[in-house]
Each structure stands twice: as structure tokens, then as C-alpha cells.
Amino acid sequence: MEKVELLMTQMVETLDDKYILELFEKIPKGKRLRAKLILKIAGLSEDAYKLAAIVELIHAASLLHDDVIDDAMLRRGQESINSIFGDKTSIMLGDILYSTGFAALTALPQNVAFKVSNAVALLSAGELLDVELSKKFNDNEEQYIDMIYKKTASLIEASSASAAMLGGKNVEIYEIYGKNLGLAFQVIDDILDITQDSDKLGKPSLHDFKEGKTTLPYLYLYKRIDADEKKKLLSLFKKDLDEDDRMWIKNRMKETCSLDDSMEYARKLGGEALESIKDEKNDHLSDIITQMIYRDF
């Protein structure tokens, strides 16, 4: 992964601006899952490393914007760029990173460049949909899935498909693999927001509901409770929750199997991802599914 980190830095260095580099180095580093996925599919070619660095720059840019949109003070347990330097800096740094990534993308084959840039448009449409859906209590599961497909799965799907293009593999099956992996990843993220304590998450727990996000466990819960409890859940929407409210939400989710069934939904997606690449004989790809689904942060 060091080579990907180095390439990312070199791409930012092409701007020849010390302050930008300084800001870039302050961004909390992630798990680099997308880069790992690309290298496991495409193999260790120069183009694969470039693609991995570009996708991670784009992903980092999207989180810089997302933390402004979500008013998030923490990212991966560390202070977010917007909390240290303000919203304007976070937005502009995001713009710099994604356009730097796009400039580097022009050196890759055209089908790869199209796949990745198209995913960035979808990703932005997904974030916009997330903002729209958060304005009121959304109880529509289809809209939630459409939103997480665009917001999260699209870039993972494009990473997987474009890595297959570089590696001369069957693009279609890798596209299905990436899409299901991405959907499962976001469903798990949404479950962890409820089940994990804030220390482990690096952000306050049940934060999604406060932000207006009715993720899969909330959608299931809402369907499974009576009119009085529905009213109570609606009254807590977007509010600062006290300990009793938190316990009530978590317990009712457990009692109605809303958390278990959400987990089952993610496992099923993971299974579909595995099914699509079963003849590829690449154990790394199943390990990635396991790591993404059975993670605790």
C-alpha cells in the first residue's frame, strides 16, 4: 500500500503548493479498501497502482465534502479537516483532490477513465439524494437502496470493473461483485452506527438518526411497530437523544429483529458478490467480502 500512498502524494505534489500538501497530509488516512480491491483484481501493474491512487484521491475528496454536508467534527476518530480549518478549506481541498485525480485519469485507457468519472457523477447524485431523503422521515426502502447504491456502491463497482479492464478480466462479473460488495459495505456501516459505541466508531453513535437518516434498521423497525410506537419513533427523529431514547431504539430494534435482518440483508449481498466471482479462483476476493462484512468499525 506504500506505493499507492506515495503515488497519491506525488499526484498532489504536481500542484507545487506547500500549503495544499500540508493540508493533504492532515487528512485522516482510511483503510484504503478500494485500492486493495483494485490491486487484487488488476494485479500489480503501473496502471493498476495509478488507478488505485486516483480512486483513493476521489474517495478522500468525497469524504471532505461529506463531512461539511454532515457537519462532522470527527473522521475516523480524528479531527476532520472542516473542524480544524473550516468548511471552505475542506470543500476546496476536496475539489483539488478530485480534479487532481481526474487529471491523472486521462493517462489511463479511455474505458477506465469513463467508468470512474461516471461513478463520480453517480456518487454526487447519491449524496444529493441522501440530503433530500434526510429532510423528512423516509420510510421507503427502495429509495434508501437506490441512494446507497449511488453514494457508496457506485465507486466500488467502478473500481472493481475498471480493475478488471486493466487486468484483462471479465468486466461484467467484477461489476456485479463490486456493486454487491459496495451495497453490503454501506448497510454494515449503517448498522455499526447503531450497534457500536462512539469510541470505536470515532463518531457519536446513533448519529445517523439525528442527521435525519433512516437507514435499513430504522426502516425495518418502523414497519414492525404499532401506531403508538411509530409516533414515538417519529417524535425522536432528528432530535438530541437521551440515554433512555437510545436504549429504547436499540432494544426495540433487537426485539423486532430489525438489526439481525439488516445484517442478514448485508450477508445476502455478500453472498451474491461471491457467487459472481466463484470461478475466478481468487481467495483475496472472498477475504475482502469477509473483512467488509464481519468488521466492527
Each residue of 4-19: b (16+ CB within 10 Å) or e?
A: beebbeebbeeeeeee
Residues with Cβ within 8 Å of 182's Cβ and at least 6 positions away in sequence, in order, are 149, 152, 153, 154, 155, 156, 157
Q: By C-beta, is 154 or 256 nearer to Mg ion? A: 154
Comparing CA positions, the residue from 80, 55, 60 lying closest to residue 68 is: 80
Choose the one of ligand FPP, Mg ion, none that binds residue 120, judging by a C-beta under 5 to 8 angstroms depending on kind: ligand FPP
Could you tell me the smallest distance in angstroms from the CB atom of residue 120 to ligand FPP? 5
Q: Would you tell me how many other CB atoms lie within 10 Å of the CB of residue 203?
A: 19
Q: By C-beta, is 50 or 169 nearer to ligand FPP? A: 50
Q: Are 94 and 127 in contact (CB under 8 A)?
A: no
Q: By C-beta, is 34 or 50 nearer to Mg ion? A: 34
Choose the one of Mg ion, ligand FPP, none that binds residue 56, judging by a C-beta under 5 to 8 angstroms depending on kind: none
User: Which 58-97 residues touch Mg ion, going by CB under 5 A?
Assistant: 66, 70
As to burial, measured by CB atoms within 10 angstroms (0-12 exposed, 13-18 middle, 19+ buried), residue 78 is middle
Choose the one of ligand FPP, Mg ion, none that binds residue 40, judging by a C-beta under 5 to 8 angstroms depending on kind: none
Contact code string over 64-103 relative to ligand FPP, x by CB under 6 A: -xx---x-x---------------------x---x-----
Comparing CA positions, the residue from 257, 186, 193 lying closest to residue 221 is: 257
Could you tell me the smallest distance in angstroms from the CB atom of residue 209 to ligand FPP? 12
Could you tell me the smallest distance in angstroms from the CB atom of residue 15 to ligand FPP? 17
Residue choice 38, 51, 108, 127 for contact with ligand FPP (CB under 6 A): 127
User: Which 135-194 residues touch ligand FPP, going by CB under 6 A?
Assistant: 151-152
Residue choice 12, 39, 61, 221 for contact with ligand FPP (CB under 6 A): 61
Residue choice 27, 38, 105, 123 for contact with ligand FPP (CB under 6 A): 123
Choose the one of ligand FPP, Mg ion, none that binds residue 62, judging by a C-beta under 5 to 8 angstroms depending on kind: ligand FPP
Choose the one of ligand FPP, Mg ion, none that binds residue 65, judging by a C-beta under 5 to 8 angstroms depending on kind: ligand FPP
Each residue of 218-257: b (16+ CB within 10 Å) or e?
A: bbbbbebbeeeebeebeebeeeebeeebeebbbebbeebe
Q: By C-beta, is 132 or 287 nearer to Mg ion? A: 132
Could you tell me the smallest distance in angstroms from the CB atom of residue 152 to Mg ion? 11
Residues that bind ligand FPP (CB under 6 A): 58, 61-62, 65-66, 70, 72, 94, 98, 120, 123-124, 127, 151-152
